[in-house]
Each structure stands twice: as structure tokens, then as C-alpha cells.
Amino acid sequence: MKRYVVIWFPNLLTDWLAIRKPELKEKVFVFTANVRGRVMITAASKAAEMQGIFVDTALADAKAIVPEIQVFDDQIGLSQKLLTRIGKWSIRFTPIVAIDLPNGLILDASGCTHLWGGEKGYLQMILQRLREAGYHCRAAIADTIGTAWAIARYGTISPIISSNQQYNAMLNLPPTALRLDNLIMQRLHKLGLTQIGKFIQMPRSVLRRRFGEELLLRLGQALGTVEESIKPLVVVLPYEERLPCLEPIRTKPAIEMAITKLLELLCLRLSNEGLGIRSATLKGYRVDGRLTEVQIGTNQATNQVAHLFKLFELKVATIEPALGIELFVLTATKVEAVLVHQEKLWSGKPGLADTGLAQLLDRLAGKIGQQAIRRYLPAAHYWPERSLRPALSLEEQAETQWQNTNPRPMEMLSRPEPVQVTAPIPDYPPMNFRYKDELHMVKKADGPERIEREWWLEKGEHRDYYILEDEKGRRYWVFRSGHYNEQKSEWFLHGFFA
């Protein structure tokens, strides 16, 4: 679902000058330009607006109100330069930012707000940073650019418009909130249509006949029935290569040749930039108009054609060419810098830094699925369920050491499972236990190891762990919850040793 943020800078130029010259912060000053032989105000400071001096006021009238007003010449293109600079700074909040001349920005916030704890925190952070920099600004977020633009400038309610609520949010706003030209505004005012809610439900034919297509277009853009596009400041060029085919391709060798050619082109570009593929998608556009695609992923960024081809080779059998594929498109959906591991002077075990290991894991993931491969790191917790965490990548380093005082099972259950035991002596290991209807006679045992619950995280009983070996030589990690109680003691199986 699309979500847009519109930021409005009512005093963009004067705020910029006040930042450069702090002595002007509380002063009455304006920017002016010659308009049809008259000197008109093009930007006014906050202090000037409090005195009743606004944009499009003649300078002579402003001097009649405040004789000591300070005047600066407006510069052509200055607003665009400032908005471009602020827009590029705003890319830290979203990769898609557009300029809304003369004094606004549009941010495509889709999928970004959760990084700041939600839309409220997202909006507050943007406004806080801009205000700390010295800019007066307002902002709103909505499903459409038109609604966000209107609420940012004319809204009196919450600046966060819930999804699919743009209709209700626009009802009480003035027609100027629709970004209409002056001629249409004059016609609306003559008819007493001073609020959008007074004409939003009129038949489209009536609105078109009286006010033209522009009113319907702006209404549609605000309500979401007409899509509105923006031109981003920085267009991120995708790492993509295309291979049109002279004749439709249907055979496996031809598909593999096409993949090799695309990988050579793409990897050459990536290697020149020091980047490698973490995930890639191959799309095949068939003669019948349908699309077939396969995806691969890697554990480490790589631009080695041979290795990447082996990963795609595992997926070639799933490509259905039908009558033939006439266009192949290879896109690197995720790229990262290629890590160059420094070789040791004396030979030693490369461990996780060995590219051969990463390539082996990639091929295994291609066969059995990425979800079947896991790497874990120790976590700074005593409680077994929290003593380890999944690693994000092969390069991630452990922040603490593994617990090696007492042995831990090779396989640990995500949730301990209850077992029935025979334990005639308190604080001694059980003589036997029953797990999944199978009775295990205990031949050897070690323990107990008491692990206290982390009281600052949760309340509950401690655990007394035992390592038990049954008559078949299988070893288990079993614990009793809490102190021994002849009537109510509960026992659980938590893991299996190799």
C-alpha cells in the first residue's frame, strides 16, 4: 500500500537566510522581485507574517506597515536549489524523494515508517530534524499525494490520515487544497462552494461542464482514483541486463548460454564498482505474452560468473519456455560490497572466511532451500532458550563466548516437552523416563546443573538439568522445574546430544 509524506516550508527562503545570518531570526525581512513593473514580495519571514506582510504583497504596502523592514533580492532558482539540497538530505528517510515547487517536498514513505516505530514516530523525526536545522515546516502523511498536500497546508486535524480515509479528510477543506488555478477558484467562490464537501458529490458531468477537466483530475488524485506520479531526485539505476533473442529460445543449452552471457555483462559492471550479488532474478518473456522467472540468493556478495551460473543451473529445469522466450532480463535485486579477506602469511584454516564454504552453502540452499540452513551465535543469557540467536550473515561476529563450562546438546527443542520419570531420591537423577510412549532406562547420569531464571526478564521456577544416557547409549538433556516435590514435580526433555 502506497503512503506519501508531503512537507511544506511556508518560509523556505527566509528561514534559509536566517540560518546563514542568525541576527535576522527575529527580524522583519522579505525577498522581493520585479513583477510587471512593480516590486513584489516573493518570500516573507515569520516575523513579517505576524505583522500582516505576506507573499504577493507590494513592497510599498509592506513599508507602510513596517517602515524598518529589511529587503533582499530574490534569486532565480534559489528555491529549487534549496529544495534539492533538503530533498537529498531526506533520502535517509526514504529512497524516493521529489521536489514540489515552490516550497515543498514529496516523500514516498511506503514500507519505511516501521523503521521509526510507525508513522507517528516517522513524521515526528522528520519534522524535528528540520526544525532543529532552523526551518518552519508542516507535514502530513496519506495514501495519496493530493490528500497529504492538502492536509499539510490546510489541515486542522491529525496530520496522519488513515488508509482509505482521504475522502473524509478532504470534506472540510477549502477548494485551494486541491491545487486549482485562480480561474477555477474564482468560479467556485462565485457559486458559494467554499468547501470541497459542497461539490465533491456533484455529478462529474456537471463539474466538467462548469469547471473543466482540471477539477476532476485534482479530485481524482486526492481521492486515489487517478494515479499521480512523481519525479525522484535521485533515480537509482537498477543493476540489470537485458538480452533480446533473434529467435525464440526453447532448449536448455540455449537458456544456459543466455544466462552465461547476462552474468558476464552484469558481473563485469559490478566488479568495476566493487560490488557483488546477494540476490538476483532472471525473467523470461515468452512469445505467448507470459512471464517465467527464477530467483537465486547468496550468503556472501559475489561477482564470480561460474559460481552464480551454478546457482541458476539448479533452477533451469523450472523455467517453462513453452513456445519460446524472446527476451531475458537479469536483475540484481540486492547488491553489497564484495569483502576481500586478507590472506595469512602462514597457512591456516580460513574458516567462515573461505569463499568455498559460502559457495557450498549457496548450492545447498538452491537444492534444499535457504530456510534449511542456519548459523547461530552465542547470546549473553543464561536461560537456554535465549542463550543463542540466529546469525544474519557469515561475516557477523559473536559478541560473547559460547558457554563451555558444561556441555550442551547438539539439538535443542524450541519448547521443552514434558516427560514422565521415576525419581525415588530427591535431587537425584531419575531411574527412567518415558518420552513419546517409549520407556528409557537410565544407565548413566550427570548433574544436576541449576540454571536460575533471569528475574529481570520474567518470573518463574529455576531448572535442575541432568544429562541422562539410556540403555542404547543415547543421551538426553532433561530438567526438573523448581524444587523437588514428591507429588507435583514436573520433568521436561530439552535436547539431544550427539
Predicted local distance difference test score (pLDDT) of residue 437: 87
Mean pLDDT for 147-167 is 94
Instruction: Look at 119-123, 200-204, 206-210, 404-408 and tell me which has the smallest mean pLDDT.
Output: 404-408
- Cα 339 from Cα 344, distance rounded (Å): 15
Q: What is the mean pLDDT of the chain?
A: 88
C-alpha grid cell, residue 307: 559460481
- Cα 442 from Cα 375, distance rounded (Å): 32
**Which residues, other chains included, contact 407 with Cβ-Cβ below 8 Å and sequence gap of 6+?**
467, 497
The answer to whether residue 317 scores a pLDDT higher than 60 is: yes
% of the chain with per-residue pLDDT over 90: 57
Same fold, 4-151 and 160-223: no
User: In this predicted model, what pLDDT tens digit does every residue of 447-456 receive, in sequence order?
Assistant: 889 998 888 8
Q: Which of 83, 109, 127 is nearest to 1 (CA)?
A: 109
The answer to whether residue 5 scores a pLDDT higher than 50 is: yes
- Where are the chain's structural domains? 4-151, 160-223, 239-337, 411-496
Predicted local distance difference test score (pLDDT) of residue 345: 40
Predicted local distance difference test score (pLDDT) of residue 441: 92
The answer to whether residue 424 scores a pLDDT higher than 80 is: no
User: In this predicted model, what pLDDT tens digit does every residue of 323-379 receive, in sequence order?
Assistant: 899 889 999 988 888 866 544 444 444 555 566 767 777 777 777 776 777 777 888
CATH assignment of 239-337, among 3.10.20.30, 3.40.50.2300, 3.30.1490.100, 1.10.10.10? 3.30.1490.100
Mean pLDDT for 289-315 is 88
CATH assignment of 4-151, among 3.40.50.720, 3.40.1170.60, 3.30.465.10, 3.30.450.40? 3.40.1170.60
Predicted local distance difference test score (pLDDT) of residue 237: 64
Q: How confident is the model at residue 387 (pLDDT cuts 50, 70, 90)?
A: confident
Predicted local distance difference test score (pLDDT) of residue 412: 86
The answer to whether residue 322 scores a pLDDT higher than 90 is: no
C-alpha grid cell, residue 27: 527580524
User: In this predicted model, what pLDDT tens digit does every residue of 109-139 receive, in sequence order?
Assistant: 998 899 889 999 999 999 999 999 999 999 9
User: In this predicted model, what pLDDT tens digit does every residue of 22-55 receive, in sequence order?
Assistant: 999 899 999 999 988 899 999 999 999 999 999 9
C-alpha grid cell, residue 225: 482514483
C-alpha grid cell, residue 390: 540466529
Instruction: Calculate helix-pair angle for 252-272, 305-313, nearest 10 degrees.
Output: 140
Spell out the SS3 assignment of the chain: CCCEEEEECCCHHHHHHHHHCHHHCCCCEEEEEEECCEEEEEEECHHHHHCCCCCCCEHHHHHHHCCCCEEEECCCCHHHHHHHHHHHHHHHCCCCEEEECCCEEEEECCCCHHHHCCHHHHHHHHHHHHHHHCCCCEEEEECCHHHHHHHHHHCCCCCECCCCCHHHHHCCCCHHHHCCCHHHHHHHHHCCCCCHHHCCCCCHHHHHHHHCHHHHHHHHHHHCCCCCCCCCCCCCCCEEEEEEEEEEECCHHHHHHHHHHHHHHHHHHHHHCCEEEEEEEEEEEECCCCEEEEEEEEEEEECCHHHHHHHHHCCHHHCCCCCCEEEEEEEEEEEEECCCCCCCCCCCCCHHHCHHHHHHHHHHHHHHCHHHCCCEEECCCCCHHHCEEECCCCCCCCCCCCCCCCCCCCEEEEEEEEEEEECCCCCCCCCEEEECCEEEEEEEEEEEEEECCCCCCCCCCCEEEEEEEECCCCEEEEEEECCCCCCCCEEEEEEECC
Mean pLDDT for 226-237 is 80
The answer to whether residue 487 scores a pLDDT higher than 80 is: no
Residue 157 to residues 38, 123, 169, 332: CA-CA distances in angstroms? 38, 15, 8, 43
Q: How confident is the model at residue 399 (pLDDT cuts 50, 70, 90)?
A: confident
- Cα 159 from Cα 157, distance rounded (Å): 6
Mean pLDDT for 425-431 is 83
The answer to whether residue 294 scores a pLDDT higher than 50 is: yes
Mean pLDDT for 426-454 is 89
Q: Does the structural domain 160-223 have CATH classification 1.10.150?
A: yes
Mean pLDDT for 150-167 is 93
Predicted local distance difference test score (pLDDT) of residue 239: 87
Owner of C-alpha cell 545447498: 364
